[in-house]
Structure 1
């Protein structure tokens, strides 16, 4: 998935790997070191008791009040079947529920996959990973008081097959269809399509998924919005769901004015006894949109009036104000700082930049140090040379282009270009940091002889735009984090060229290499322990042989909260600020 934060610039393995810290809270400490060796992973619960509500008690928490969340840009999608960016996922965590979800222990910060709507994390019916059964809990209700049913979950999955709703993850659809071209025949419940997709059966309050191949990681995929329920009667206008998803969680959309403000209020029909993940401490959640990172930081740092109840959320503390925040004694206990599970990069559109030597030259010429300085330093970012994050199981530490951005790196780039001066279009989101970093990219690459044309793009639809196959751009910043703790959710989505479609692509470098595709298939069939390391090896092969991207930095979150805000946390997942435990007072 992508991090909402980074738009400004741009797994069964868990049963075998110990869980490290999955979230951060406002301790007043900051991490300005290089990448840690912590691995973001969490086990799948095998005890139905873990899936029972209510969520764990939060010490000192009070009910009431409003949290103000400042955002520079709007959220691209709220329709749970379309959500694939972390800020949308974090917001939807308050509004919609899925079959499964990650529960974070507030004392140990360890995460575990449990049943959310379902009574447990899933039953592997035949013990072969191909048939997964879920039974819904009793007492589940929507915002209008009607019951949530297994048929509604099936309808939600059906919606995810629609070519018009292709922005979200495609795992379950592909596993049901047995093909990356998952909607070649069945295209969802619209225009006469069935309300239950092929491969799914519903009996009473039980839903069963019959997959074409063994997928032992299915419970993780079920934690995504793909399995969010929706009654067919509420889907009269699919586009309306993107601004007003029908609530199954503790909050519902009260008002939403795109580009300006989104307000959540309590869903009075949500029952805490059914929910092991969420609380509903605050009365309302007020997301104020269009506030620059500098303004956000100044407001919350001052801690006056309503800003005592505010949070610097997306994209976080302005780079120019990083040191001011870190040295302000009044903010010491109001700082949130930690690694997110994302690696940022600049994708090279390999459909347009077809010469691999040009792509390698881009990597050699790129000034990564200058880029990180412009971001505000190591409290905001750590230099990246890989496609996978160091928080990811199977991370392989390597540098395919040592000396990048130095005099030696520029000399290597010039040699690869052999007198050529490629003219390339660099597209970037029209944000405060997007504009600033674009000039770093331009000056960095022009030293080696590239001609870089800067092209502003709409910040609110940037990822949607670069995910269109014919986007017309050569270079653009983006990022990715594991959808769950397995390299299978990093390398295949980003570099399996067989998944490329007209729109909704995660492979936004548009690399389609037969040997990479074959290696992806091979690793997917390997034992989990072997596959963990082999994803990291393939990461290195892709960068060394094909150079489809320029790794830029490993993403950190640096935020400040008002003095009246408590228990907002940096959590992986969703790889953003999470409010499920938050309260004010």
Structure 2
């Protein structure tokens, strides 16, 4: 999701509503500089009525018109089984429906509900090894044909194919009971079965059976892996260009790198859909516009720009213009992305040196570089406040600008030489300057090493990379600590390349806690992830939390219903409409 691909090892038991902390924070200058944050609730729907449609009407919304969605580049993929970025997920919601989806309430409440399915799933034996989903009546594709459970199973089957490897792997790994999920079953091609091992279909009911408990399957089922694909419509790699619509819109035209046009699927029945509306006649994605150009068009608000939405956050140099009328039509808020300094523990082995690095960081300086409080909030935790299980703590109280005196005390007169790898673009260069100044003030000697922006994250993921620390970021695949802490700090799966654990931590105490919490019921696991967050930073100092990312987007004056998704950390379009004259 705008970040390295990830994997999951969590085991959660669902069925309750929990409370997390989220919202804006104010820098107080004490203990990392955050104040208590407003609470939001989140969980899984237990009442089948929550999964029924139609979605509640949006006040003032009307049908008709065209809305343009502006973005800098094309999508990596539109094939739902291959999508794995926040912008792909956002547009996918309009033409593809998985078994489950998140519904976001007006107060930010996040509820997992059945999308194609009548409920978010049934734990058949109450041990999370067997999950059953039954499809709703009245589900239609864009040609009027019925969406079937067999089509969902076929969608899951094709996700095992090697050309689908860019998508999430949760369900495939759980079905295969192995990270090497397609070693034996390669998908429905070349004689492969149209239903993958571990999945059975009976009428409109689909059953998943696992060798081990996987209580977070309802969450994983919200990803593109479970989007239905009729076998007769499968064009393999070419499916990326024209996926078959199961949502309220269908693809009417796609010119790669230029434009994607969606028009209504007239067979979509809102009575089956608790998430989406289809107010505009058309949604047109226009590509190739820089974030600066997008923002300037929206701020000017003339002509077609009045009917458009910028999908990129307003760049730093234009944030001062987001005032008055522009502010009134902006979309602002906390995302689930956390920026942090990953310390390469293979190279920086001295715990006291890493703890000194915790005190050296200048969080306020890093936030200022990206645009100030509108774009970031200093944090001392690895879990975002938008994540269920969030726990506020400050293991190394250093204030917003760092505490170089405490850092120097831990170094005992030493001046460690560290290499900081930074993204070689304008923002990365400014951040590198802040890091170097703060760490040298704390007694370190810092060498700056530029990393090509195109390979910045993949370079970090090489186990033999030559840097001591670098700025990294992460966001949960769904709002739980289970999709943050295990991928970032469980070192048992480290490989030569492609690692999410770019701190290269492999600590037996941390691994033990990951296994323990992963086996707990959800109500018990959620706060335990927060405690483990604190344990990891306090005991290992393998990462230095820096700031929570905020989004600031602007849309035209004739657009309503733009919502910043707390799950996807980007604007979504399920409620958008063209305002009347």
Residues 293-304 of structure 1 mapped to structure 2, 5 A cutoff = 293-304=291-302
CA–CA distance in 2 between the matches of 1:580 and 1:70? 16
Residues 377-396 of structure 1 mapped to structure 2, 5 A cutoff = 377-396=372-391
CA–CA distance in 2 between the matches of 1:55 and 1:98? 16
1:558 deviation in Å? 1.6
Structure 2 vs 1, CA of residues 580 and 503 (structure 1 numbering), >3 Å: closer, same or farther?
Answer: farther
8 Å CA contact 1:19–1:111 kept in 2: the answer is no
Partner of 2:520: 526
Residues 334-483 of structure 1 mapped to structure 2, 5 A cutoff = 334-350=329-345, 359-403=354-398, 406=402, 408=404, 411-412=407-408, 415=411, 418-427=414-423, 430=425, 433-434=427-428, 436-441=430-435, 443-445=437-439, 448-458=444-454, 475-483=469-477
1:217 deviation in Å? 2.8
8 Å CA contact 2:479–2:567 kept in 1: the answer is no
Partner of 1:67: 67
8 Å CA contact 1:40–1:341 kept in 2: the answer is no
1:277 deviation in Å? 1.0
CA–CA distance in 1 between the matches of 2:354 and 2:14? 33
Partner of 1:127: 126
1:443 deviation in Å? 4.9
CA–CA distance in 1 between the matches of 2:507 and 2:423? 24
CA–CA distance in 2 between the matches of 1:204 and 1:416? 70
List runs of 5+ in structure 1 lacking aligned partners.
5-10, 23-29
The residue matched to 1:172 in structure 2 has which SS? helix
In the alignment, structure 1 residue 264 sits paired with structure 2 residue 251: no
Partner of 2:245: 247
Normalised by the size of structure 1, how large is the TM-score?
0.85
CA–CA distance in 1 between the matches of 2:460 and 2:140? 37
List runs of 5+ in structure 2 lacking aligned partners.
5-11, 28-33
Structure 2 vs 1, CA of residues 512 and 154 (structure 1 numbering), >3 Å: closer, same or farther?
Answer: farther
Structure 2 vs 1, CA of residues 148 and 503 (structure 1 numbering), >3 Å: closer, same or farther?
Answer: farther
Partner of 1:561: 555
1:519 deviation in Å? 1.2
Partner of 1:147: 146
8 Å CA contact 1:345–1:552 kept in 2: the answer is yes
In the alignment, structure 1 residue 491 sits paired with structure 2 residue 485: yes
Q: Cα deviations across residues 430-468 of structure 1 (Å, max 9, x unaligned)?
A: 5x645544544455456531211112222xx76567556
Partner of 1:321: 318
8 Å CA contact 1:103–1:111 kept in 2: the answer is yes
CA–CA distance in 1 between the matches of 2:147 and 2:461? 33
Structure 2 vs 1, CA of residues 323 and 550 (structure 1 numbering), >3 Å: closer, same or farther?
Answer: same
Q: Cα deviations across residues 297-321 of structure 1 (Å, max 9, x unaligned)?
A: 222111111111122322x122222
1:546 deviation in Å? 3.0
Which one of the candidate residues 522, 546, 550 is aligned to 1:552?
Answer: 546
1:487 deviation in Å? 2.0
The range that moved more, 355-364 or 274-283, is: 355-364
Partner of 1:17: 18
Structure 2 vs 1, CA of residues 351 and 173 (structure 1 numbering), >3 Å: closer, same or farther?
Answer: farther
Which one of the candidate residues 559, 566, 571 is aligned to 1:572?
Answer: 566
CA–CA distance in 2 between the matches of 1:83 and 1:412? 46
Structure 2 vs 1, CA of residues 121 and 365 (structure 1 numbering), >3 Å: closer, same or farther?
Answer: same
1:97 deviation in Å? 0.8
Which one of the candidate residues 267, 283, 288 is aligned to 2:286?
Answer: 288
The residue matched to 1:61 in structure 2 has which SS? coil
Partner of 1:25: none
8 Å CA contact 1:132–1:210 kept in 2: the answer is yes
The residue matched to 2:417 in structure 1 has which SS? coil
The residue matched to 1:17 in structure 2 has which SS? strand
Structure 2 vs 1, CA of residues 341 and 559 (structure 1 numbering), >3 Å: closer, same or farther?
Answer: same
1:116 deviation in Å? 0.7
Partner of 2:56: 56
8 Å CA contact 1:254–1:264 kept in 2: the answer is yes
Partner of 1:158: 157
CA–CA distance in 1 between the matches of 2:260 and 2:216? 34
The range that moved more, 437-446 or 524-533, is: 437-446
The range that moved more, 435-444 or 536-545, is: 435-444
8 Å CA contact 1:21–1:38 kept in 2: the answer is yes
1:119 deviation in Å? 1.8
The range that moved more, 253-262 or 224-233, is: 253-262
Normalised by the size of structure 2, how large is the TM-score?
0.86
Q: Cα deviations across residues 321-372 of structure 1 (Å, max 9, x unaligned)?
A: 22331xx322242122222233222434555666656654544433211110
Residues 26-105 of structure 1 mapped to structure 2, 5 A cutoff = 34=34, 37-105=37-105
The range that moved more, 161-170 or 550-559, is: 161-170
Structure 2 vs 1, CA of residues 226 and 575 (structure 1 numbering), >3 Å: closer, same or farther?
Answer: same
The range that moved more, 90-99 or 166-175, is: 166-175
CA–CA distance in 2 between the matches of 1:344 and 1:333? 28
Partner of 1:117: 116
The number of aligned residues is: 563
CA–CA distance in 1 between the matches of 2:241 and 2:466? 28
Q: Cα deviations across residues 144-202 of structure 1 (Å, max 9, x unaligned)?
A: 44432212211222233345433433332333233444444334344544332221111
CA–CA distance in 1 between the matches of 2:68 and 2:35? 31
8 Å CA contact 1:13–1:532 kept in 2: the answer is no
1:545 deviation in Å? 3.2
CA–CA distance in 2 between the matches of 1:411 and 1:289? 47
Partner of 1:514: 508
8 Å CA contact 2:13–2:521 kept in 1: the answer is no
The residue matched to 1:270 in structure 2 has which SS? coil
The range that moved more, 124-133 or 361-370, is: 361-370
Q: Cα deviations across residues 451-493 of structure 1 (Å, max 9, x unaligned)?
A: 11112222xx765675566777665544333333432222123
CA–CA distance in 1 between the matches of 2:183 and 2:349? 29
CA–CA distance in 1 between the matches of 2:436 and 2:338? 21
1:533 deviation in Å? 2.3
Q: Cα deviations across residues 486-540 of structure 1 (Å, max 9, x unaligned)?
A: 3222212322233445666543444333332221111122343432222112112
